[in-house]
C-alpha cells in the first residue's frame, strides 16, 4: 500500500490560530503513512513560506475554486481536510465531492452550522473544544448519540518543545534586555492586532489594579491602534509597554517569559485560544472573562482557582490579578497546573495520533484497504476527550458559568440557558447586534 494523500485546506496561510493548527498537523502527521499537501484557497501568507521551507508542497489558488478540484485529482487525494468555519467551506467541500475524494474532514473552528444540503456535509465535523461541541449539539437539537455520528472533538495542538521552560535567571536577563525594571510586577498578553481579539476589561481594570500595585507594568504584544489610543486617553500609557506584532515565535516565547500573570479578554470570546494555551505552556496563571453569549471556550481552558481565575467586571478582574501578584506561592502552583493541563490536553503528539486514527477509521469505513499493521498501532489508542468527558461537560459548563471572582453575571447566564438552544433566535439577535455596532462605528 502506498502513502495516504492528504490535502489540508484553509482560506489563507496567515498567522491566526486556525492556520497554526493546520501547520502543526501538517508537520507532525506520520511521514511514513501520510503525504501532505497544503492549499491556501484565497491567499498565502507567512505560513506558506514556512511550510515550503520545511519541504511541503504548498499551493495558493487565489480564489480559483476550479483549481481546487483539479489539484485533488492530480494529487490523487484520499483525504480532504478543511480548516475554517462552516459557511466558508461549502465550495471547498463540493470541489472534494466533484473530485471523488473518499474522505472529507472539516475542522469547524467556530462551531457553526453548515448551510446547504446533505451532500454539503463532511464525513466528520471536528469541533475544537467541549464548549463548542455542546453549543453545536444544542443548536442542532441533537442527542449526544446523534452528535457523535457526525461530529467529534479535537483540540488545536501545542508543540511543547517549541517553548523554553522559564526560570528566574532567564526572566532577569530578559527583563534587562527589554529595559524593564527588576522590581516591576508584569502582566500582559499577546495577540493579533484585531480589535475584536482585545476586550476592554483588561484595560478598564488597570485603575483598580494600580491602587493595589502602583509598580505594575502591562506588556501588550500586537495591541490594535484603537486600544492604544484608549489607553492614552485614560492617561495610563506610562504603565504599558507596547510590542509590535510579530510572526517570530522566539520573540513571542520571550515575551511570555517576561510575564508573571497572563490576562486575557476578547470581544467575541474564544472556541479554543492558542494564545491562552501558549501562556499556560510557559507556566503562567491566566485571568479571563466569561462571554456566554459569544464563544466561551476560555472558561473551559481555565479551571477557576486551579490554573487561573474567571472575572467578569473590571474591579473583580483587577482583584483576581492582584491576588496572583501578591501571592507568589499560589501564582507558582497555578502556573504549574496550567502547564499540566496543556500536557494532558493540547500536546501535539497526543492530538496528532487522534487525528491519524480519525483519518484511518474513516478510510476503512469507505472501503479503502488499510495495512493491518498500521491499523493495529491505533486500536488501543486512548482518546481525549472521551465521549463521556464531552457529554459530562453539559452539566459542568453550567457550573463554570456560575464560578467566578466576585459578582456573577446573571444576565449573560440567563441568555445562555434560555436562548442558546434556539439557533434561529441566536443568529437573529447576533445580526441585530452587529448592525447596531456597524451604525455606532459609522
Read off the CATH number of the domain in which 210 is found: 3.40.50.2000
- Report cis status (omega within 30 of 0) of the bond before 385: yes
pLDDT at 391: 96
In a domain, 97, yes or no: yes
Compute the average pLDDT of residues 101-110: 94
Please give the C-alpha separations between residue 142 and each of 53, 106, 146, 150, in angstroms, as whole numbers.
44, 19, 6, 11
408 pLDDT above the threshold of 50: yes
Of the chain, the percentage scoring pLDDT greater than 90 comes to: 67
Ranking 230-234, 349-353, 386-390, 428-432 by mean pLDDT, the lowest is: 428-432
C-alpha cell at 153: 472533538
In a domain, 435, yes or no: no
d(CA 389, CA 367): 30
CA 435 to chain centre: 26
- Residues facing residue 221 across a β-bridge: 190, 243
Compute the average pLDDT of residues 348-372: 94
Query: Does residue 14 sit in the same domain as residue 133?
Result: yes
Helix (H) or strand (E) holding 310: strand 308-310
Ranking 144-158, 305-319, 378-392 by mean pLDDT, the lowest is: 378-392
440 pLDDT above the threshold of 50: no
In a domain, 422, yes or no: no
Query: Does residue 352 sit in the same domain as residue 290?
Result: no
d(CA 129, CA 250): 27
In a domain, 318, yes or no: yes
pLDDT at 423: 52
Give the structural domain span for 87: 4-157+347-390
pLDDT at 74: 96
pLDDT at 441: 41
- Determine phi and psi for 34, rounding to 5 degrees: -120, 145
d(CA 365, CA 4): 15
How many distinct structural domains can be found in the chain? 2
Query: Does residue 79 sit in the same domain as residue 46?
Result: yes
In a domain, 418, yes or no: no
Query: Does residue 336 sit in the same domain as residue 356?
Result: no
Helix (H) or strand (E) holding 18: helix 17-28
Rounded to the nearest 5 percent, the helix, strand and coil shares of the chain are 50, 15, 35
Query: Does residue 22 sit in the same domain as residue 147?
Result: yes
Helix (H) or strand (E) holding 286: strand 286-288
What is the chain's length?
Answer: 442
Report pLDDT digits (tens) over 170-219. Answer: 888 889 998 888 788 999 999 989 898 899 999 999 999 999 999 999 99
Helix (H) or strand (E) holding 241: strand 240-243
Helix (H) or strand (E) holding 262: strand 261-264
Compute the average pLDDT of residues 400-424: 70
Burial class (CB in 10 A: 0-12, 13-18, 19+), 323: middle
d(CA 71, CA 228): 44
Query: Does residue 26 sit in the same domain as residue 86?
Result: yes
* DSSP state letter for 347: B
The confidence band for 246, taking pLDDT boundaries of 50, 70 and 90, is confident
In a domain, 417, yes or no: no
Query: Does residue 137 sit in the same domain as residue 194?
Result: no
Query: Does residue 257 sit in the same domain as residue 360?
Result: no
In a domain, 412, yes or no: no
Query: Does residue 98 sit in the same domain as residue 54?
Result: yes
In a domain, 98, yes or no: yes
320 pLDDT above the threshold of 90: yes
pLDDT at 227: 96
- Among the listed residues 190, 156, 185, the one whose alpha carbon sits nearest the alpha carbon of residue 279: 190
Query: Does residue 318 sit in the same domain as residue 170?
Result: yes
Query: Does residue 165 sit in the same domain as residue 81?
Result: no
Query: Does residue 153 sit in the same domain as residue 207?
Result: no
- Residues facing residue 158 across a β-bridge: 347
Tell me the pLDDT of the chain averaged across its residues.
89
- Determine phi and psi for 256, rounding to 5 degrees: -65, -35
Amino acid at each position: 500500500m502506498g502513502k495516504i494523500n492528504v490535502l489540508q485546506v484553509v482560506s489563507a496561510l496567515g498567522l491566526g490560530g486556525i492556520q497554526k493548527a493546520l501547520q502543526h498537523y501538517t508537520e507532525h502527521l506520520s511521514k511514513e503513512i501520510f503525504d501532505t499537501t497544503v492549499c491556501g484557497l484565497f491567499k498565502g501568507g507567512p505560513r506558506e513560506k514556512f511550510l515550503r521551507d520545511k519541504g511541503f508542497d504548498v499551493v495558493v489558488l487565489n480564489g480559483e475554486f476550479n483549481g481546487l478540484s483539479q489539484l485533488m485529482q492530480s494529487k490523487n487525494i484520499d483525504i480532504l481536510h478543511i480548516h475554517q468555519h462552516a459557511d466558508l467551506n461549502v465550495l471547498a467541500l463540493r470541489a472534494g465531492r466533484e473530485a471523488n475524494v473518499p474522505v472529507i474532514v472539516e475542522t469547524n473552528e467556530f462551531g457553526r452550522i453548515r448551510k446547504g444540503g446533505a451532500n454539503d456535509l463532511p464525513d466528520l465535523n471536528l469541533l475544537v473544544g467541549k464548549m463548542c461541541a455542546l453549543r453545536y449539539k444544542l443548536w442542532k437539537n441533537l442527542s449526544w448519540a446523534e452528535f457523535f455520528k457526525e461530529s467529534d472533538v479535537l483540540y488545536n495542538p501545542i508543540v511543547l518543545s517549541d517553548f523554553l521552560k522559564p526560570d528566574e535567571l532567564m526572566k532577569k536577563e530578559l527583563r534587562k534586555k527589554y529595559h524593564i525594571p527588576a522590581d516591576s510586577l508584569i502582566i500582559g498578553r499577546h495577540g493579533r492586532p484585531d480589535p475584536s481579539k482585545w476586550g476592554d476589561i483588561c484595560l478598564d481594570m488597570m485603575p483598580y489594579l494600580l491602587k493595589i500595585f502602583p509598580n505594575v507594568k502591562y506588556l501588550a504584544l500586537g495591541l490594535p491602534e484603537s486600544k492604544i489610543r484608549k489607553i492614552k486617553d485614560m492617561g495610563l500609557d506610562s504603565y504599558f509597554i507596547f510590542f509590535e506584532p510579530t510572526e517570530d515565535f522566539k520573540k513571542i516565547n520571550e515575551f511570555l517569559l517576561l510575564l508573571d500573570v497572563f490576562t486575557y479578554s476578547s470581544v467575541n470570546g474564544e472556541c479554543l485560544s492558542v494564545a491562552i494555551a501558549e501562556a499556560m505552556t510557559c507556566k503562567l496563571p491566566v485571568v479571563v472573562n466569561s462571554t456566554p453569549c459569544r464563544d466561551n471556550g476560555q472558561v473551559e481552558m481555565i479551571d477557576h482557582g486551579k490554573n487561573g481565575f474567571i472575572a467578569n467586571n473590571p474591579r473583580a478582574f483587577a482583584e483576581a490579578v492582584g491576588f496572583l501578584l501578591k501571592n507568589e506561592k499560589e501564582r507558582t502552583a497555578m502556573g504549574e497546573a496550567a502547564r499540566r493541563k496543556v500536557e494532558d490536553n493540547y500536546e501535539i503528539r497526543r492530538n496528532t495520533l487522534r487525528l491519524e486514527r480519525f483519518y484511518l477509521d474513516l478510510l476503512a469505513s469507505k472501503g479503502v484497504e488499510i495495512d493491518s499493521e498500521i491499523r493495529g498501532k491505533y486500536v488501543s489508542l486512548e482518546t481525549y476527550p472521551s465521549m463521556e468527558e464531552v457529554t459530562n461537560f453539559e452539566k459542568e459548563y453550567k457550573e463554570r458559568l456560575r464560578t467566578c471572582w466576585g459578582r456573577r453575571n446573571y444576565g449573560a447566564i440567563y441568555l445562555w440557558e434560555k436562548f442558546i438552544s434556539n439557533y434561529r433566535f441566536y443568529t437573529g439577535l447576533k445580526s441585530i447586534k452587529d448592525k447596531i455596532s456597524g451604525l455606532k462605528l459609522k
